Structure 1
Amino acid sequence: MVPASSDISVTISLYNKEKTIERALLSVLNQSSPPKNVIIVDDGSTDHGSELAENLARKYPSVSHIVQENQGVSVARNRGVVEADTDYVCFLDADDVWEKNYMDNLLNLMSAEGNAEVYCLAYQMKSEIGYLKPHVALEENHEGIVENPLNVYAKGYGLIHTSAICFRKEFFLDIGGFPEGVNFGEDLFVWMIACLKGKVAFSNKISVTLHKEQINSINRRKLHPYHVSYFTEHLNDFSTSEQQAIRKFLIGNIYIQWAAAKLEGNVEQQKTLQKYCFSLSKTSWLILTFSRLLPPSVFKFLKNRRTKKRLIGNR
C-alpha cells in the first residue's frame, strides 16, 4: 500500500526557539497534504518558546505539545517518535522550514520506492550570502533508491539532514534511535547506521530551507565526536565492505573537523581526532601529522575557497 499523509507524523524538538517555532510549525501545517499530526517536544526551554508551543497546540487540533526536563535533543527526538501513532516519522528542527512542496515530494518518493526505510529530500541553507544547494554525487533529477548511500553521503552532506528526512518508525526504533546522553555527532551516528542497515531513497527536489545559527559551533567542536569514537571502536563488528565505507566516511569527516579545530587553535581536539585517524588509516594520520606544520592561514584559505566553490557551483 502506498503511504498517505495520514501515515506520517512530524516531531519537532524545541529548546529556546521562541522566535522560530511558529514559523517551523506553520510550514508543516500549510502543506497541501499535511501530515496526520505534529508532536512538539519541549526539552526544558527557558524562553517563551514553551508558552508559544502550548498556545499553538490549543489552536491546531493536529498539534500536541510535550514538556520534559532538559535531557538533550536526542531524548526529545526519540520521545516524539515513541509518541507518534503513524508508520512514518519525519523530523524538523525548530529553526528550519519545510517548503510548500515538501509533503508532495515526500509522498511521490514513497510512491516510487515503497520498500525503503529512509526517505531523504534535498535542502538549501539560507544565510546572509544567499542559498546553498546540496552537494551530492547523484544525477540532477535523481528520485529513487541510493546505491551505497554511505559512500554517497561521504562525498557531501547534502544527502541527509534532520529536517529533510523521514523514517519508517519500526526501522528507526530497531536501530536504536538517537543515542541519548550524547552532545556531538549523535545525528551523524544515526545517519551512518541508517545508510548501513536500511534502504535509503532520495529526491533531489529542494524541499527544506535551513536557517542555521553558528554561535555554538566552536563549543560543539570541543565535545567528543560520538560517531567517530563509536565506529572506530566497533569497526570489526561490520562486514568488510561496510568497514571500507565507514573508514572513507570517518576519515573525510575527521579531516574537516581537524581543520576547524586547527583554525580555532583547539589543540586538544586536534589530538583526539589524530588518535582516531591513526586507528583508521596510518597514511591519513601521517597527512594530518604533517598538516600540523602548516599555518592556520592555509586552512582559512581552503575553507573560503571551498565555500566560494559551493556557492558558484549551486547557482
Structure 2
Amino acid sequence: MDASCPTISVIIPSYNYGHLLPRALDSVLPQLAENDELIVIDDGSTDDTATRLAEYTTRHPRLSAVHQENAGAAAARNHGIRLAKAPYVLLLDADDELMPNALNVLRAIVSRDTEVGMVLGAQISVHPDGRERLRLPTAVPKASAKELARRYLLSKSISISHCCSLFRRDLLLQRPYPENLRSGEDIPVFCHLLVSAPVLTTEQALARIHKHADSLRHLRDDEEERALTIVDEVFSSLPTECQPLRQRYRAQRYLSLFRAALNAGEMPRAGYFYRRALRLNPLQALRWTYLRKGLRWLLSS
C-alpha cells in the first residue's frame, strides 16, 4: 500500500452519545499509526457531543469532527466513508470501544493480502447486567456468490457485525448504506461485501460491543414495509446468480416478523405473517422450527 495514504480510517457515527463518546475515542486514538485517521460524524446531536468533540480535536490533530443535520446512522456512515482517505474502513459505534492492539492486528492482516474485501474479528459482547461473552467470527468458506448469500441471508451461518470488522472502502462506495432505512441498513452492505471479494477472519477480539435494550433492532413500527424494503435493497446490488434467492429471502423476512408477533402475543398479526411466508415458500415455512411456532399460533387462535 502507498505509504502516503492512511492504512485504516476509523469512522464513528454519533447521535446524542456525548456521555459515551470519550470511551470510544480513547480506545482508538492511542492505536492510530502515523497515516491512520479517525473521523467522527456528529449526526445532528442535541446533547454535549459538539463540546466533547471540540475538546478532543484541539488535542488530537488526526481526529476530524464533522457535523451534519440529523439524517440517521446510514447517512452518517456514508458521509464518513466518502471523506475517508484510507483503503480500509472500520465503522465503530459511538457506544462501543476497540480492544487494545485491534488496529495493529488488522493492519498486519491486510498488509499480507491487499485483495481482501473484509476482515471479520471476534468481539466481546457486554450485556446491561455486566455479563461479558466472547463471540468468535464464523468461518467464511470459499464458495460461489450464491452460496455465500444463501449462508448469510437464509441459513444465517455467517455473521457480520460493525466495530469488529474491517471493510474495503471501494466496496463500500459501490454499495452505500441505504439511507431510506433506519434499521437493517447494514444487511444489503454486508451481503454485497461478502460476495464481492475474499473474506478473512481472526479470532483476536477487536471490540467490546455494548448491548442495549432500546436498540433500534427492537422497534416494530412499519415493520412489514421495512422488511420488504430490505429485500429490495439487498438484491438490488447482488449479481444475477443470486437473484433466485430473492423469494426465499422474502419468505424469511415474513417468518422473522411472524416470530416477533408471536412473541409479542399478537396472534392475528402472527397468522398474517405466517400465511404470507407459507405462500412464498412452503418448504421454508414448514421447517420444524417454524411449523412448531405455527402450531402454537393455531392452538392459540
Aligned to 1:183: 182
Q: Is the 8 A contact 1:221 1:269 kept in 2?
A: no
Tell me if the contact between 1:5 and 1:35 (Cα under 8 Å) persists in the aligned partners. Answer: yes
Q: Do structure 1's residue 172 and structure 2's residue 172 form an aligned pair? A: yes
CA distance in 2, matches of 1:156, 1:293: 24
How far has the Cα of 1:166 moved from its partner? 2.0
Give the drift of 1:201: 2.1
Tell me: CA distance 1:242–1:37, structure 2 relative to 1, closer, same or farther (3 Å).
same
Q: CA deviation at 1:81?
A: 0.7
2: CA distance, partners of 1:220 / 1:13: 20
Tell me the number of residue pairs that the alignment of Structure 1 and Structure 2 aligns.
291
Distance 1:227 1:264, change over 3 A: closer
Q: Give ranges in structure 2 of 5+ residues lacking alignment.
A: none
Q: CA deviation at 1:38?
A: 0.8
Partner of 1:206: 205
Report the counterpart of residue 291 of structure 1 in structure 2. 293
RMSD: 3.6
Gaps of 5+ in 1: 139-143, 299-315
Once the two structures are superposed, what CA deviation does each residue of 1:183-226 show, in whole Å capped at 9, x if it has no partner? 12101121112222333222222111101212245752334364
Q: CA deviation at 1:291?
A: 2.5
State, as a whole percentage, how many aligned pairs show the same letter: 23
| Distance 1:48-1:161 versus aligned 2 partners, 3 A rule | same
Residues 24-39 of structure 1: matches in 2 within 5 Å? Answer: 24-31=24-31, 33=33, 36-39=36-39
Aligned ranges for residues 227-266 of structure 1 at < 5 Å?
A: 228-231=228-231, 242-243=242-243, 255-266=255-266
Q: TM-score, normalised by structure 2?
A: 0.80
Letter in 2 for 1:130: R
TM-score, normalisation: structure 1: 0.76
Contact 2:231 2:246 in 1 (8 A): yes
Q: C-alpha offsets along residues 20-72 of structure 1, whole Å, 9 cap, x if unaligned?
A: 10100111112274761111111111211222122212221111111111111
Letter in 1 for 2:131: G
Secondary structure in 2 aligned to 1:284? helix
Report if the CA contact (8 A) 1:159-1:202 is conserved.
Answer: no
1:44-123 correspondence runs (5 A):
44-123=44-123
CA contact (8 A) 1:221 1:257 kept: no
Aligned to 1:303: none
C-alpha distance in 2 between matches for 1:28 and 1:167: 17
- For the residue of structure 2 that corresponds to 1:184, the secondary structure is coil
Work out whether residues 248 and 280 of structure 2, in 8 Å CA contact, stay in contact via their aligned partners in 1: no
d(CA) in 2 for partners of 1:62, 1:191:
28
